[in-house]
Structure 1
């Protein structure tokens, strides 16, 4: 039996929550914006078939529009790394796995590309092994492997991609994140320019220290956004969405971002910012016609189609990762 799991794209930071806040998104067209992993678990291997150098035998087939951006060698792919580590945690019996990855998110896009692959892989494996790990343990594994890509563990992409919705990261060792109610009538426009930016490089641009006043404003804005979201105060939530730490340091390093942000403000969106470490830009509005106007501008002035850029009008995806019938996937 083949288990197929989809993990949605995510907006990391959401302006006010650097490494602390993330949102899973779903295009309003219904198409899937995220990676899909297919897992087939073969019977446990007889001892005489076990390779002395590899306890488990794992193969990987990669498809999708961004497959060519991944390492050719399967053992260098985080999907295979995830599979091997998962098996080491849950069984002493050697297995043979056949994996397939539909790579639908561009690498280095700021849409949680690596997180989507990690979440889909570990969720699919856990389902294939009869939910041997609870959700909290599974989420911690996801964070650990996301850290292998970015250089340090943070959950603002893996938590929303796994659990759905808006997720606020916690310091409690038992609970990694807490769900925040999203403003229901907001549209989230995302535009990937087509450029690829290294998360590690973009993190290196951040200030090593912040002035006390800047830190206080950042905390106030995050607190205001969380309070407004829980109370359903859309106007207050929108006013809070200003990044005073990461965006000022990164904006000039993202081609076209500064001009696009100003143009979106002129169009009348409620707020805009950098998704994750970029170059994807996000904007929010409560008006579909205005969202379409903003998307048209971004398609014409920010998205570079020759570089496989794209844009979507989205809503918050409250489901998170889930099993899918591959026949349900839309082109």
Structure 2
């Protein structure tokens, strides 16, 4: 049954870091700027007589396809109405706040906000697990393959470990509440598919063992709340060695942030956004200032000091 409330329903879906360095395709985290600003896309939905009306607004709308029917949010709505065999229609507005190809889960944010809004509007026809699977399927149409390391934290919040079992797609793991995650987007766009193509088809056995060791140790450290161990093993042996040189200024920034006393630095998703971790707000603010001056190179670039967004997607 459609939402009979006359007021449009607004849904916010936060930005997310895929991989979180150590967990390629298997770990993701949602981001919440400490200044209270919303770093993510917003979808507004209201009822109309029939069909699907769609518009895209916001600071990054100009980077989306001019043909509105090519937008994934429009396609989500068409799919939803068809699946429910509904004759009534919906109007959706996407406020595109996340840059495309940023490594901040931009496509996931749009998909999650849209499907969450549609599900709420039509009286929750999908349960949480079914909706999550649908989100992964749609986001995969954009990024080239189905991965949940952005959609799961974006939808559910916090730090999520991908299980990909028949019973459960993902599970929340404990995070370090005193960590600050400084995220810096330089203003350039990098294709997820092209960044994935930089990776080798096969890995040496020793690298595979290191990947499993670091990820399992990080999960263990998270449950034990052992910060020192977590930082020690928060390493990316699968993607960063091949992607770092393709991100302008990343290697220099990583070195400079280490000199400033940041605990560790990595690539958010497939880049070009980087993340850097500290347990000191003072150091986080210093890193933010340095990154604004040295890493942000194009108009539209930004740096945020964040905690993890424990709420996930929600009405606003």
Shorter-chain TM band: over 0.9
**In 1: Cα distance, 2:289 partner to 2:186 partner:** 13
On the 8 A contact 2:20/2:27 being kept in 1, the answer is yes
The structural deviation recorded for 1:132 is: 1.1
What secondary structure, in the 3-state scheme, does the structure 1 residue paired with 2:135 have?
A: helix
- What count of residue pairs does the alignment treat as equivalent? 310
On the 8 A contact 2:136/2:151 being kept in 1, the answer is yes
Q: Does 1:125 align with 2:110?
A: no
The structural deviation recorded for 1:254 is: 0.5
1:312 match: 304
The structural deviation recorded for 1:240 is: 1.0
Stretches of structure 1 lacking an aligned partner (at least 5 in a row): 46-56, 325-331
What secondary structure, in the 3-state scheme, does the structure 1 residue paired with 2:87 have?
A: coil
2:24 to 18, 29, 33: 18
Q: Does 1:189 align with 2:195?
A: no
2:3 match: none
1:214 match: 207
On the 8 A contact 2:81/2:89 being kept in 1, the answer is no
**In 2: Cα distance, 1:119 partner to 1:64 partner:** 17
2:85 match: 92
2:65 match: 71
2:130 to 126, 137, 141: 137
2:56 match: 62
On the 8 A contact 1:10/1:23 being kept in 2, the answer is yes
Q: Does 1:38 align with 2:41?
A: no
The structural deviation recorded for 1:245 is: 1.2
**In 2: Cα distance, 1:129 partner to 1:161 partner:** 21
Q: Deviations over 1:121-143 (max 9, x none)?
A: 00000000011110100000000
TM-score, normalised to structure 1's length? 0.92
What secondary structure, in the 3-state scheme, does the structure 1 residue paired with 2:285 have?
A: helix
The structural deviation recorded for 1:87 is: 1.7
Stretches of structure 2 lacking an aligned partner (at least 5 in a row): 1-5
On the 8 A contact 2:187/2:296 being kept in 1, the answer is yes
What secondary structure, in the 3-state scheme, does the structure 1 residue paired with 2:108 have?
A: helix
Q: Does 1:287 align with 2:280?
A: yes
TM-score, normalised to structure 2's length? 0.97
The structural deviation recorded for 1:3 is: 1.0
Q: Deviations over 1:300-331 (max 9, x none)?
A: 00012x4310000000000000001xxxxxxx
The structural deviation recorded for 1:171 is: 2.6
What secondary structure, in the 3-state scheme, does the structure 2 residue paired with 1:307 have?
A: coil
1:49 match: none
On the 8 A contact 1:59/1:74 being kept in 2, the answer is no
**In 2: Cα distance, 1:123 partner to 1:171 partner:** 21
On the 8 A contact 2:157/2:311 being kept in 1, the answer is yes
